[in-house]
Structure 1
Amino acid sequence: MAKKKQVQTDDGWTVVAGSATTPSNNDKNGNAEASNRAQQEARPRKTVNGLTVDKLAHEFRGMQKRFNDTLCAKNLERMLRLRDGLWTLDNAVCIGVGSFSIDWEHRYRSLWQFVLFLNVVEIDPSPDDGNLFSLYLLTICEVMGKQNNHISLYAQDPAFTPLDTEFLSSLNITPLTSTAATHISSSSFVFAPFVDWFLLLPHFLKDKDPHLYVGNEVLRDYAAFANTRGKKDVLTECNRLGKGFLEGREKRKVPGFDLHGGALEGLVVYWKEEGDSDEEG
């Protein structure tokens, strides 16, 4: 049996890998370690000048308020409320959202994606809503005066800075390093905005059956995108995992969002169809 070990991908992720996923698979000349190191050094590392947890939290709350007034938020809430059946979630896991504090062009993309994550977490049916939909969730925003201890929240991204992790902790979200997949179960909400398929499927969704997923569209065949040796090595497995994930799931597009071009574009929502929640574990 191949010995499993932790390896670091070109995107900075530390994942558990067996013989089929080794650093050499990412580089024909066996120089993956040097390639990883070079890419990590090339990433922006400087945080926004003068940014503190309090300032970041204030900025984030303002973005939440702006998001709540959008058609995207209203249509997303309507979409999830109209879904038949009872949703009982134990946790929510955010994967690959990026850094909220690094001074780079994608900072606000990360923040808006995180706004979407917590918006889904906070969705609650209206008192007069007669359907069976119910999310027993921990609401993050303290100003809303809600708190529910039925759900745990986790977030993982190799780009997180100490300021990011302190910010997450202030929201009662546990920042993770390399254990996100261990928290995913059939009662999980998984949020994975734009995590590459060759990482998402074999390292985060393999042998998992989350009840709710928001992220990239999952495909049955990734052959058209397997353009490197490392991707080709996991193609067969990813195709199998993609087909399995799609079984018994409904798909909807995340509604259009106008406050940031591209932040939420292309994201989709998957949920398990009624009667399928206990078929897989």
Structure 2
Amino acid sequence: MPHSSRRARKPYHPKRIISESEDGWSRVERTTPSRYGSTPLVDSSLPPVDRSLTVQKLLDEHTRCKQQWANSEARQWLQQLLARQVAEGGWSLDKAVCVALGSPSLSWANRLRSVWQLVMFMDMVEMVRPKLNHANELKLYAQEPRFTSLDREFLQSLAVTVLDPPQAEELVDESTFIFIPCIEWMLELPFMLVAVKSPLYVSSSMHWIADEAERSRTRLTIDFNSNKLVLKQCDDAIAAAKAVVNTHHENNMPETDFADGHSLSLTIYTLKHQDED
């Protein structure tokens, strides 16, 4: 009976990796075994644009989602929250910036999530608009590297100005309503640094971001050749997340499930008044 001193190889199971390219587009990759570990191979890129869509169809979807959102308990909760936590004299805002909205026109499973998030962003603007502490118009902006030409036409029809990266990072200041439904913490860091003094900031969770940055820092400190810049970004993210929590009321929006299978669950951060701790 033949035998060998070689050990049986363990079965290899390829892993899917989603990474960001330099131009901001996502890449779906698989790993393949090599002598020095797993080597990523590009498997596919972003899905194509849904060619059946038009600006009018996107507007119709926006209207449908807006009507459903208007009757939700989450919207009633949000409306009461903003009315209760507005600063004396009104909101000190002159622009609203939405980052990482996603593309409403790409043919992927979560395409409608982008429409839902846009509805919430624009509705929050309408909630605070009557209580601004100035007469200037509150301008709306959106930045997303995946925006297609159809997305841009759709947003422009809703009076939302489209920004190209890194214009949003350069635009935000202490008078900006910042809305970031979902993004990697490293990409959110520039906005977190500004959000410390922003009257209204919507994000996932500062606690989650701090935990993620802490885990990244722990992994990096094990490697003596770690990138010092990334280590500093970890420290900055942890400090900024804690600062936002200390300077803002933290309000977890009740999770709402909608008819088309999408849910919204975000954290609303409103700046504390000067007479508050």
Q: How far is the alpha carbon of 1:183 from its aligned partner?
A: 1.6
**Structure 2 letter corresponding to 1:195:** I
Counterpart of 2:181 (choices 193, 204, 208) is 193
User: Which of residues 110, 126, 140 in structure 2 aligns to 1:106?
Assistant: 110
Contact 1:100/1:164 (<8 A) preserved: yes
Q: Which structure is higher in strand share?
A: 2
Structure-2 separation of matches of 1:107 and 1:242:
29
Matched, 1:43 2:46: yes
1:113·1:263 contact (CA, 8 Å) conserved in 2?
Answer: no
Look up the equivalent residue of 1:246 and give its one-letter code. V
CA distance in 2, matches of 1:153, 1:124: 13
Select the structure with the greater relative contact order (CA < 8 A; seq sep ≥ 6): 1
Question: Helix, strand or coil for the counterpart of 1:244?
Answer: helix
| Alignment: residue pair count | 229
Q: What displacement does 1:123 show?
A: 1.1
Amino acid at match of 1:264: L
Superposition TM-score, scaled by structure 1 size:
0.72
Deviations along 1:209-235, one digit per CA (max 9) or x if unpaired, are 321011111134531355576765621
SS of residue paired to 1:271: strand
Matched residue, 1:66:
68
Identity score, percent: 29
Residues 99, 197 of structure 1: alpha-carbon distance in 2 compared, 3 angstrom cutoff = same
Which stretches of structure 1, 4 residues or more, deviate above 4 A after TM superposition?
A: 12-15, 225-233
> Which consecutive unaligned segments of at least 5 residues does structure 2 have?
1-17, 25-39, 221-225
* 3-state SS of paired residue (1:251): strand
1:161 aligns with 2:148: yes
User: Which structure has the larger Rg over C-alpha atoms?
Assistant: 2
CA shift for structure 1 position 205: 2.8
The Cα of 1:170 is off from its aligned counterpart by 1.0
C-alpha change, 1:189 and 1:236, in structure 2 (3 Å) is same
TM-score of the aligned structures, taking structure 2 as reference length: 0.73
Distance 1:211 1:38, change over 3 A: farther
Instruction: Name the CA distance, whole Å, in 2 between partners of 1:180 and 1:13.
Output: 17
Cα root mean square deviation, aligned:
3.1
Does 1:134 pair with 2:112?
no
Equivalent of 2:203, from 215, 218, 221? 215
Partner of 1:224: 215
What does residue range 1-281 of structure 1 map to in structure 2 within 5 Å?
A: 10-12=19-21, 38=42, 42-44=45-47, 46-85=48-87, 86-123=90-127, 134-135=131-132, 150-178=137-165, 179-201=167-189, 203-208=190-195, 209-219=197-207, 220-221=210-211, 222-224=213-215, 232=231, 234-259=233-258, 261=261, 263-265=263-265, 267-275=266-274
Task: Determine if contact 1:88/1:187 at 8 Å carries over to the other structure.
Answer: yes
Checking the alignment, whether the CA contact within 8 Å between 1:136 and 1:151 is kept in structure 2 is no
Alpha-carbon distance in 2 for matches of 1:149, 1:52: 33
Cross-structure match for 1:128: none
Offset, 1:204: 2.6
Residue 122 of structure 1, CA deviation: 1.2
Relative to structure 1, the CA distance from residue 168 to residue 268 in structure 2 (aligned partners, 3 Å threshold; closer, same or farther) is: same
